[in-house]
Structure 1
């Protein structure tokens, strides 16, 4: 039994990676940071706010922090990273920055296999309904959508851009229709269709997203492709 325990520790240590997370203090980014830290990876949390980073580091003392604008990052800042998670989030008036940052990272690491670039995308680019229309079209039907529709549209553009990238090791993930802060649950995955439970729920909590991303980082199942994750209904 002792030998088996030591073997598991050895295997676990050999899985540990250097992971850098851009937008680490946001809802998705902080969940990824927390899960990566809990699993013992070497984590660098990147965000603009030194105060928010200090709060995150107080909760997870083993992580490193870097207070810097995502668009000012250099290869020196990201040196040694095996995985870079793009959890960057912008408001509607700056939604195009989702695409701009993806282009920046791809340009920085063109013709490489390391680091692996992991992009957190939106649900709007997923297909839904019998006619397989894009979920962003449903979002646009919301009378209040003018205030935020620029974000899912930009994330759709980001996915379209990434789908044409063949010289970088990238993967993307989309949450379900309702993406909110919460603890992890059992989950299911898909590819390009919005996941909806038999009782009509389409939910992804931030905790579930963090777990799903770390599982994909540790045991890659997707390459130059997007997948989606949804919480299973809880009894």
Structure 2
């Protein structure tokens, strides 16, 4: 399987790249800085050195899947939606060779099933969250946009309330709900996210919908 990863030098993108390579997939890093990608991912990394917003249908053609692990600063968080629109336009399901699109989303759109509260409302209660809350707020809008899309093959993947560096546990999957790990906390390691994404790519179970990943 030929897999492209946008944002392959970020926390999620790095682990997804490594997991794909470990499983023997043909994986390519879409990055702006090829030297940084080689430093982080190894000298033999396959690189397409191009800004994600400049990617075209031609760039994406021939990939079986493209994973969007793009990250933005709070002041530019609306670019999550902008890039989603661009990728959907560049990879229509009607075009031969268009990839399946995988979007790494946020936890703000998850629901506490006991109270009905959205994750974004719980995040607002965290001290000093106003400095960065625009990121999960825009990722919520990103999912709302994707749920209107029927012209491309896509799947969204949300971590739990804490998305942190770390090795994989056995991923626990849900749909739209806040989950807890064995320690009673709601968290997902980048390693667990990577395992769940590759499991989905190798054995698809979700189409044009979102699922969520928790540590065990």
Report the TM-score when normalising by structure 1. Answer: 0.87
Partner Cα distance (1:198, 1:76) in 2: 45
* Residue 64 to residue 199, structure 1, CA distance change in 2 (3 Å): closer
Aligned-pair distance for 1:144? 0.3
Partner Cα distance (1:191, 1:129) in 2: 12
Q: Which of 204, 207, 210 is residue 191 of structure 2 equivalent to?
A: 207
Deviating beyond 6 angstroms after TM superposition, the runs of 4 or more aligned structure 1 residues are none
2:60 and 2:91 in contact (8 A); partners too: no
- The gaps in structure 2 that reach 5 residues or longer are none
2:171 and 2:193 in contact (8 A); partners too: no
* Residue 78 to residue 110, structure 1, CA distance change in 2 (3 Å): closer
Partner Cα distance (1:127, 1:212) in 2: 20
* Residue of structure 1 equivalent to 2:60: 78
Aligned-pair distance for 1:78? 2.1
Aligned-pair distance for 1:197? 3.6
Q: Which of 114, 136, 141 is residue 152 of structure 1 equivalent to?
A: 136
> Residues 54-93 of structure 1: matches in 2 within 5 Å?
54-58=38-42, 61=44, 63-93=45-75
Partner Cα distance (2:70, 2:125) in 1: 26
Aligned-pair distance for 1:74? 1.5
Partner Cα distance (2:207, 2:113) in 1: 26
Q: Quote the RMSD (CA, aligned, Å).
A: 1.4
* Residue of structure 1 equivalent to 2:27: 43
Q: Which of 68, 75, 83 is residue 101 of structure 1 equivalent to?
A: 83
2:60 and 2:90 in contact (8 A); partners too: no
Partner Cα distance (1:81, 1:163) in 2: 23
Aligned-pair distance for 1:130? 2.1
Question: Secondary structure of 1:195's match?
Answer: coil
Q: Does residue 167 of structure 1 match 2:151?
A: yes
